[in-house]
Structure 1
Amino acid sequence: MPDDETRWLSEEEQRAWESIATLLFRLPGALETQLQRDSGLTLFEYMVLSYLSMMPDHTARMSELARLTNSSLSRLSNVVNRCERRGWITRRPDPEDARYTIASLSGEGYEQVVDAAPGHVEAVRHHVIDPLTPAQLRTITAAVDRMRPLLPNGELPRGRGC
């Protein structure tokens, strides 16, 4: 039963929320369709490979990759298993702390993400960047930066990749 204390959304807030929800549900599918068609990658596989490509020595702890991809270690492990079978990623115990596992992007994995990146960047441009003005992009960036501390997992790696 609704609580009398509930702060219901105004009409403008409801429109904003519906717009964000539409983006959250439709954009990943559009990006995944392009990646599957052009590179045989899921969006999640691409993000794992891309994050590793931006890391020093193309290496990260599995726990860090799980944080960056906002996934469980179990889900990440399944994807990394597929990538290992394809020769794109290798895993080994962390030499600094054997409780952790390190994932490293292989040369073949790096080539895979480099080959997939131009098509992915074009899809991002088509669906997100090109329809917006520079001022709208700055506004979105500022809004997301304001919300980011309230979301799990915080920052993403900064790099040239997309």
Structure 2
Amino acid sequence: MTSAEPRWLDDEQAEAWLALVSILEVLPAALDSQLTRDADLTFFEFLVLVQLAEAPGHRLRLSDLAAATHTSLPRLSRVVARLEADGLVAREADAQDGRTRHAALTEAGWRRLGEAAPGHIDLVQELFVAPLSRTQLKQLERIGQRLLAVLDPASEVLAQTRRATGGRPGLSRPPTPSQD
């Protein structure tokens, strides 16, 4: 820690920062509210299901799933336990290493994801897509990529989803296991 004077934000920087922080505070509650009402899922649980839907074989090692959802293993374990109790995912031992556990999307998980996705996409359209022009969306994508290059240089967060280009289950196409 240095005793040098902080590099204070100018007014334009402060306004941009406050806009982003305000979005970060308001958006998660809006997403959670809709998903809880429509599908009895939190946004985080929805992300877990989406990551499993995107994964090869619709299963991921728990450590990879934790990285993809940017959470700790203990938090992920609690969420996976709830999803498992609801029959939406199954925990499985790795065939080569019995100490390693995977989460796999079940048929019930596919159905719940299918129930949750339309309302979620409607909300994304309303809150994110409709207020912005195509040019602004492209600018926001480029801004997001620049920030993520600093915040997530290994590109672990939502890795499968961000790498996909031809339809993402529950985001740009209906989530069905037969479309792999």
Which interval holds the TM-score relative to the shorter structure?
A: over 0.9
Local SS of the residue matching 2:41? coil
1:69 Cα shift? 1.1
| Distance in 1, Cα, partners of 2:123 & 2:144 | 20
Aligned to 1:16: 16
- Normalised to the residue count of structure 1, the TM-score between the two structures is 0.93
Local SS of the residue matching 2:103? strand
- What are the superposed Cα offsets for residues 120-157 of structure 1, whole Å, 9 maximum, x if unpaired? 01111111111100000000000010111211462422
Q: What aligned pairs does 1:36-115 form with structure 2 within 5 A after superposition?
A: 36-115=36-115
1:55 Cα shift? 1.0
- What are the superposed Cα offsets for residues 30-71 of structure 1, whole Å, 9 maximum, x if unpaired? 011100111111111111011111111110011111111111
Local SS of the residue matching 1:99? coil
| Distance in 2, Cα, partners of 1:119 & 1:150 | 32
Q: Which runs of at least 4 in structure 1 moved beyond 6 Å after TM superposition?
A: none
> Aligned pair count?
161
Local SS of the residue matching 2:100? strand
Aligned to 1:29: 29
Aligned to 2:149: 149
1:3 Cα shift? 4.2
| Distance in 2, Cα, partners of 1:63 & 1:115 | 27
Change (3 A) 1:17 1:3: farther
| Structure 1: tracts of 5 or more residues without a match | none
Counterpart residue type for residue 62 of structure 2? M
Aligned to 2:118: 118
